[in-house]
Amino acid sequence: MRAQFFALDWIVLIAYFVGVMGLGLFFWKRSGSSEEFTAGGRSLPGWLCGLSIFATFLSSISYLALPGKSFVDNWNPFVFSLSIPVAAIIAIRYFMPLYRDAGEVSAYALLEKRFGVWARLYASGFYLLFQVARIGVVMYLMALPMAVIFGWDIRYVIVITGILVTAYSFVGGIVAVIWADAIQAIVLLAGAIVALYVILTGLPDPSGHEGAIGLASGMEQVIDTGRQANKFSLGDWEFFQLSEATVWVLLAYGLFENLKNFGIDQSYIQRYIASKSERDAAKSLWLSAGLYVPVSALFFFIGTSLYAWHEAYPMDTEAVRRVVAKQKLMQQGVEPEFVGRDDEESLTFSPAYEAQLSQTAAALTRKDIGDRVFPHFIAAHLPAGVSGLLVAAIFAAAMSTVSTSLNSSATLVMSDFYQRLISRNADDRQLMKVLHAATIAWGCLGTGMALFLVRVTESALDIWWPLSGVLGSGIIALFLLGVLVRAAGSRIAIASVAFGSAVIAWMVLSSSGLWPEDFAIPPSDMHPLLVIVVGTLVIVGSGFILSILAIMTSESSQN
């Protein structure tokens, strides 16, 4: 691995940070009121909001976890992306007009009108918890490559980034966040394309000739290697196999999860509201959905290309193992011990530490190193300047998502809790204080979650997807219940959510091995990704049945 980050890399990276912080300061005066801070004056163009949604949706979860997943396994998670256009159509047709017509800055004010204040607070509360988890996962994934590239303690990277992104979200409001997202989207795409080009042209020539190969030859080599290892498989097509992540399980999960994102997620709803017209709002979602499907395929192909790279250069795999092993030892409190320098002036480990490092590295599986493979390639093989661009892209992927989460969380704290429960007649100065305080609070909570995840060893994507389903299924179910079951009132909604929550708890405890085997109800054997699907269907279905029973009871009492 290259021992240093060259001057040109630092220039690129510093220029990125200066630009992002400059945006926050530039839009400071435009976020002086609560309306500007949360909705941007409702005057932004659709293409700008679309790039912002795309950058937010991408995040470092996609930028690092998707290549890691296809490096370790196959393209099975890509099925999730295929459901995005369907979810976008439903959101544009049925959800978006509701928010535009309501004129509320909170997505969950509609739930209060339908079921009462408890529904609004329930949805907002779970959304706020969801954002703490999301910020934590995103920042953790962002910090992984920084630890690999620079050798820094991952905890310091998390804390410093948390401070920076909270600062520009605090200063610039949603306008600064959206403009920064749009710029970051361009950086993200540029970084990914450049990285793939370097991988493809750096593979060895199959004929044995030395020197760089062409782009087409590299592409052909990756496809051949991937086919032999079944890397392009989308997974099992068995329809009734619910315990595995089959194609149908991923499609169902993707449809419900993306409908939750595009239909009820506060961070997306704020972009619809910030757009200058309903047409621009629809354009923003079409643009982001249209971009994400091919871009996610790009990241999966990067992962497959890295698999071909490691097959050609097995020493790189050993290098990644040592990097991951060193990080694991640091997490266990075992610091490196040095005894001197080698011929290349690099520090050498003590024999005792080297033995621990080698033993830990040998025990690692391919899954253990998946999320670190792309960062290692960035550090070891990209030319000066390009590494800086890729590091900036990784920061951009994280910061665009985190800043959006901070702004949307602060908006809900202000509108759904402070204004609704504490001070309905608060003036704008008071509201701005609440927005600023909530931004700082959620920045601290999300950073704390990221520090907690440092000790978690599973793949980040395996952590995030089930967690997202648990925290989001009740919210999307309430919205669908309100729209699809007109006869369902507040009491029926409460009963349905309670029953659905019990089913969700059963599935989650079963998948984590905490459900007692000798209990009257056996543990669930369904895949954790189905939590949001089953939870939503149970809540809506039970609400429908209870509504029919209520109507029948009412009619019989009248007779």
User: Token digits for 298?
Assistant: 């790009």
Q: Which of 114, 127, 211 is nearest to 411 (CA)?
A: 127
242 shares its domain with 195:
yes
User: Token digits for 406?
Assistant: 């901070």
| Residue 2 covered by a domain | no
Place of tokens 């895949």: 527
Element at 348 (helix H, strand E): strand 347-349
CA distances (Å), origin 529, targets 414, 468, 495: 32, 9, 24
541 shares its domain with 432:
no
Tell me the C-alpha distance between 441 and 437, whole Å. 6
Tell me the C-alpha distance between 234 and 2, whole Å. 35
| Residue 202 covered by a domain | yes
72 shares its domain with 191:
yes
| Residue 317 covered by a domain | yes
Last residue of a domain, one of 401, 430, 453: 453
426 shares its domain with 483:
no
Orientation of helix 490-511 relative to helix 117-150, angle to 10°: 30
Q: What is the pTM of this model?
A: 0.86
- Calculate the CA dihedral of residues 6, 299, 374, 68 and round it to 10 degrees: 160
289 shares its domain with 315:
yes
Cβ-contact 118, 494 below 8 angstroms: yes
209 shares its domain with 343:
yes
Q: What is the pLDDT along the chain (559 residues), one digit of tens a residue?
A: 444 577 888 898 888 888 877 877 787 766 668 888 888 888 899 999 999 999 888 776 777 789 999 999 999 999 999 999 999 999 999 999 989 888 888 999 999 999 999 999 999 998 999 899 889 888 887 887 777 677 777 888 899 889 988 887 787 788 888 888 888 888 888 888 999 999 999 998 776 666 667 888 999 999 999 999 999 999 999 988 999 999 999 999 999 999 999 999 999 999 999 999 999 999 999 999 999 999 999 999 999 999 999 999 999 999 899 888 887 887 777 877 776 665 544 667 888 888 898 999 999 988 888 888 998 898 888 888 888 888 888 887 788 888 889 999 999 999 999 999 998 888 989 999 999 999 999 999 999 998 888 776 555 555 665 666 666 678 889 999 998 998 889 999 999 999 998 998 888 888 777 788 777 788 888 988 898 899 999 999 999 999 999 988 877 777 6
Tell me the pLDDT tens digit for each residue of 317-335.
998 998 888 878 877 778 7
As a whole number, the mean pLDDT across the chain is 86
DSSP 34-74: HHHHHHGGG-B-HHHHHHHHHHHHHHHIIIIIHHHHHHHS-
| Residue 180 covered by a domain | yes
Cβ-contact 285, 294 below 8 angstroms: no
- Please give the pLDDT value at position 197: 94
DSSP 71-112: HHS-STTHHHHHTHHHHHHHIIIIIHHHHHHH--SSTTHHHH
547 shares its domain with 413:
no
- Please give the pLDDT value at position 181: 84
- Please give the pLDDT value at position 53: 92
- Please give the pLDDT value at position 467: 64
φ/ψ bin of 449: left (φ > 0), alpha (ψ from -120 to 50), beta (otherwise): alpha
380 shares its domain with 476:
no
- Please give the pLDDT value at position 63: 76
Cβ-contact 278, 100 below 8 angstroms: yes
- Calculate the CA dihedral of residues 206, 208, 213, 218 and round it to 10 degrees: 10
> 129 pairs with which residues across the strands?
none
For residue 114, the SS3 value is: helix
| Residue 1 covered by a domain | no
Last residue of a domain, one of 432, 453, 474: 453
Cβ-contact 391, 154 below 8 angstroms: no
Q: Which of 242, 239, 132 is nearest to 531 (CA)?
A: 242
Tell me the C-alpha distance between 453 and 312, whole Å. 33
381 shares its domain with 505:
no
Tell me the C-alpha distance between 7 and 127, whole Å. 42
431 shares its domain with 557:
no
Write the DSSP symbol of residue 340: E
Helix, strand, coil share (%) of the chain residues, nearest 5: 80, 0, 20
| Domain count along the chain | 2
Q: Which of 436, 516, 503 is nearest to 470 (CA)?
A: 503
Q: Which amino acid is at 250?
A: L
User: Token digits for 459?
Assistant: 């793949």
CA distances (Å), origin 472, targets 62, 127, 146, 184, 480: 19, 7, 30, 26, 13
Tell me the pLDDT tens digit for each residue of 488-539.
899 999 999 999 989 988 888 887 777 887 777 888 889 888 988 999 999 9
User: Token digits for 425?
Assistant: 């007649």
- Please give the pLDDT value at position 1: 44
| Residue 494 covered by a domain | yes
Q: Domain span at residue 348?
A: 7-453
- Please give the pLDDT value at position 524: 87
Q: What is the CATH number of the domain that holds 445?
A: 1.20.1730.10
Cβ-contact 483, 94 below 8 angstroms: yes
- Please give the pLDDT value at position 3: 45
Cβ-contact 404, 178 below 8 angstroms: no
Q: Which of 315, 242, 237, 258 is nearest to 89 (CA)?
A: 258
First to last CA, the chain: 82
| Residue 525 covered by a domain | yes
- Please give the pLDDT value at position 2: 46
User: Token digits for 87?
Assistant: 């979810």
193 shares its domain with 68:
yes
280 shares its domain with 236:
yes
| Residue 86 covered by a domain | yes
